[in-house]
Amino acid sequence: MHRQPLLDLLERYAARHPGEAAIVDRFRDFVARCEGCFERHLTEGHITGSAWIVDRTGTRVLLTHHRKLNRWLQPGGHADGDPDVLAVALREGLEETGLGSLEPVLMEIFDLDIHPIPARGADPEHWHYDVRFLLRDAGSGDYVVSEESHDLAWVPLDRLGQYSDEESMRRMRDKCGAYFRTA
């Protein structure tokens, strides 16, 4: 089954983050129940892949001021049929930032989030089942603002609150600290 690799990632995530059992259960149910979970046309919702991109020191994150949602967020996007959610996160991270190279800090899921996307045009309100990966800029750090963004910014993690007060963004910031300890 093309969904099994994601279900396996979810199992390992559940073992590492037992306090997040409720969201993992919702993810597992959705993925197991919906064969087309990686397809954008599934009106209930669909899998998306996001990139929490940090600099080499792990002290700054690259955020995009999302054009459609008008909020500062991590880069990410639709799987569009690709069940390899890490590949989706890498692709979206590169496409939306213009960075030269990204590398996974870990090959496992970094964070999970399920959030509603408002109706827009012919698209009804639906859910994004967002699978997030911790990635590191492996190049110069120079970015290019794409048509999907108003702006991009390298944001010091200790100043994230100036850009977003969303709980999921704070959660990723806090998780990030476990991978980058400074002396």
pLDDT of residue 183: 38
CA–CA gap between residue 102 and residue 55 (Å, rounded):
10
Which sequence spans correspond to the domains of the chain? 4-176
- CATH class of the 4-176 domain in this structure: alpha beta
Question: In percent, how much of the chain has pLDDT > 90?
Answer: 87
Q: What integer pLDDT is reported at residue 122 of this predicted model?
A: 87
Cβ atoms within 10 A of the Cβ of 24, count? Answer: 18
Residue 14, pLDDT above cutoff 70? yes
Residue 104 pLDDT greater than 70, yes or no: yes
Helix-, strand-, coil-residue percentages of the chain, each rounded to 5: 30, 30, 40
- pLDDT of 149-164, one tens digit each? 999 999 999 999 999 9
* pLDDT over 50 at 59, yes or no: yes
What is the average pLDDT score of the chain?
94
- Asked if residue 8 lies in contact with residue 84, where contact means CB atoms within 8 angstroms, the answer is no
Mean pLDDT of 3-8: 98
Q: pTM of the predicted model, to two decimals?
A: 0.95
Q: What confidence score (pLDDT) does residue 38 get?
A: 98
CA distance 20 to 18: 5
pLDDT for 1 equals: 65
Report the pLDDT value the prediction gives residue 13, as an integer from 0 to 100.
98
Mean pLDDT calculated for residue range 54-66: 95
The whole-number pLDDT of residue 103 equals: 97
Over residues 16-27, the mean pLDDT reads 97
